[in-house]
Each structure stands twice: as structure tokens, then as C-alpha cells.
Amino acid sequence: MASSLHALLEKIVRTGDLVVTGPNGLHIYGDGTGKRVAISFTDDEASDEIARDPTLKLAEIYMERRMNVDEGDIYDFLALIKANTLSEAL
């Protein structure tokens, strides 16, 4: 996984259990609480694109099947991200 997406997820995901697998290995984010969500990327370029413009590229990469949700579903992933970004704003 590209280091820019790793840095972004490391900053955002403080609570929860997110496992991300990419061509370069596995990374775990959060404190391990709640339902586990696991995603994987088919190529590093996909994770780079999301890191550069998450609002636009996340849906595009998911629809192109360059990002897969391997455990849980896309709604679980979005809920995990939303819960962490809402808590950061407080």
C-alpha cells in the first residue's frame, strides 16, 4: 500500500478495526474495537489515487473493483471512516 494512504488512514482511524491489504502487505488500523472491516487493493496506483482525492476516487476505485471489501461491506467501511472523522471534528 502506498505510504500516503497509510499515513492518511493512520491519522484518521483511531477507533475500530480496519485491515488493509495491498500489493505491498497488510496494515491494521484502529484500536481493535467493534466489527472488523477488511479491504484490499489490487494495485498501488489505486491506493495512491484515493490518498490524493478520497472524496472523488474512493467510489470510482470501488466501482472499478480495484478496491474490494473482504470482510464486512462497503457500508461498514464508510461507517468506520465516518465515525472516526466525526470524532476528530469534536
pLDDT attached to residue 90: 43
Statement: residue 87 has pLDDT above 50: yes
Q: The C-alpha cell of 73 is what?
A: 461491506
Statement: residue 30 has pLDDT above 90: yes
pLDDT attached to residue 44: 85
pLDDT attached to residue 35: 95
Quote the CA–CA distance of 61 and 42 in Å, as a whole number.
10
Q: For 45-74, what is the mean pLDDT?
A: 95
Residue 7, C-beta contacts closer than 8 angstroms, at least 6 positions apart: 51
CB hemisphere CA count around 69 (13 angstroms)? 16
